[in-house]
Amino acid sequence: MNEWRRLIWARKWMKKNETFLPTWHAHLGYSLYLFEAFRKPVTIDEVVKERNLNHLLLQRWVEVGLAVGHLKAKRNGKIKSDKHMLRYVAPTSPDSVGILLKEMLELHMPTMLAYKELLVEDEKVSYVDKDHGKTVAETSALLETLAFPKILSEIKRYRCKKIMDLGCGHGGYLARLAQKKPKHSLFGVEMHADVLKEAQKRTEGYENVKLLHEKIEDLHPTNYNPDMVMLNNVLYYFPAEERLPIFKKAYDLLDAKGVLVVMSPINGVKNGNAFSSAFNSFMSAQDNLYPLPSFKSIKEYGKLAGFRMKRSAPIIKEGGWYYFVLQKK
């Protein structure tokens, strides 16, 4: 009887592993432009010849793709990519979310797989911005579609005219705001030079956008006086003891009755706890990234800095991603 129980549990874990196959397959197709290679029905031999790839391994990738529905078998041994993979995964598509697969499999998964050694050896790994900064900025931009309407609503609610984005990344929010509010004054602050260069490209032509190559803590409050400061997905770059000073910096930057908008994945939330706990595990394994904030800590930072919490709401409930609106007292 015990052997049968072991067999049942083994089958359960095998079935759980099946769900990883589509992610692995999609990531490889995204990284090597393989879905584009099979955009039109072609044979494996034709792709091998054109791309100079390993025939056996490409054949195995195709077999998995057929099994999980990412590829379709056509006549005469030809293979064609599913239209959804071409639209939502292929890197040449404007609707691609493949960058998320890149972050998961090239950044998060290696860290999680190293957990055994990290636990035993009591060590941490280092997040290297030059290797992953652009990827993280791109995945953060995926949130913009959901978050931007909420931010725009707060701008209208509080009649904000001067807006500063601390840790602006690739400048996605600034570019969207510049389109909607061409008469508003917009400031983006980014400390990483390579990320800032991309922000400069994406906001080029918007005369109301000014980008600053600065650390948040080095900003001089009297130079700007915005009536809204945005702090989007940056708190986990700072240890807990440095977060209150950032809230205080935002307070000093803001004009009277100014508004602080904070966006972040939150630890310990009921909805999205599986994702946020896994994300928190990844952060905690880095020696230069830090655990996620909690609801309680966000409220406490705001209170101690002189803000009044006005509202909070989920952006992606199943991912534990929330935004908070705080106003100067």
How many domains does one find in the chain?
A: 2
Structure confidence at residue 29 (pLDDT): 98
Structure confidence at residue 134 (pLDDT): 76
Looking at the chain, the whole-number percentage of residues with pLDDT higher than 70 is 99
Do 73 and 148 fall within a single domain? no
Asked whether the predicted pLDDT for residue 222 surpasses 90, the reply is no
* 110 assigned to some structural domain: no
Asked whether the predicted pLDDT for residue 35 surpasses 90, the reply is yes
Do 231 and 286 fall within a single domain? yes
Do 173 and 290 fall within a single domain? yes
pLDDT tier, 285 (very low <50, low <70, confident <90, very high otherwise): very high
Q: What is the mean pLDDT of residues 301-307?
A: 97
* 108 assigned to some structural domain: no
* 129 assigned to some structural domain: no
Mean pLDDT (the chain) is 92
Where in the sequence is the domain holding 226, given as residue range(s)?
136-328
Do 64 and 188 fall within a single domain? no
Helix (H) or strand (E) holding 186: strand 185-189
* 100 assigned to some structural domain: no
Do 214 and 281 fall within a single domain? yes
Question: Which CATH number fits the domain that encloses residue 276?
Answer: 3.40.50.150
Note every long-range contact of 59-64, with CB atoms under 8 Å and residues 24 or more positions apart, other chains counting: 61/25, 61/28, 61/29, 61/34, 64/21, 64/24, 64/25
Alpha-carbon 313 to chain mean position: 18
AA letter at 12: K
Asked whether the predicted pLDDT for residue 271 surpasses 80, the reply is no
Question: Which CATH number fits the domain that encloses residue 44?
Answer: 1.10.10.10
Q: What is the mean pLDDT of residues 93-104?
A: 93
Q: What is the mean pLDDT of residues 143-151?
A: 88
Q: What is the pTM of this model?
A: 0.83
Domain boundary pick from 66, 95, 124:
95
Q: Measure the CA angle with vertex 226, ends 220 and 229; round to 5°.
A: 90
Structure confidence at residue 140 (pLDDT): 76
DSSP string for 211-266: EE---GGG--GGGT--SEEEEES-GGGS-HHHHHHHHHHHHHHSPTT-EEEEEEE-
Q: Is 310 helix (H, G, I), strand (E, B) or coil?
A: strand
Residue 244 · residue 301 · CB < 8 Å: yes
Do 32 and 156 fall within a single domain? no
Do 146 and 72 fall within a single domain? no
Structure confidence at residue 169 (pLDDT): 86
Span 237-253, pLDDT tens digits = 999 999 999 999 999 99
Do 90 and 147 fall within a single domain? no
Q: What is the mean pLDDT of residues 153-172?
A: 94
Distance CA 151, CA 328 (A): 17
Structure confidence at residue 276 (pLDDT): 87
* 67 assigned to some structural domain: yes
* 188 assigned to some structural domain: yes
Asked whether the predicted pLDDT for residue 220 surpasses 90, the reply is no
Do 87 and 162 fall within a single domain? no
Do 140 and 91 fall within a single domain? no
Do 162 and 63 fall within a single domain? no
* 121 assigned to some structural domain: no
Span 197-212, pLDDT tens digits = 989 999 999 999 999 9
Do 91 and 141 fall within a single domain? no
Structure confidence at residue 146 (pLDDT): 85
Q: What is the mean pLDDT of residues 67-81?
A: 97
pLDDT tier, 47 (very low <50, low <70, confident <90, very high otherwise): very high
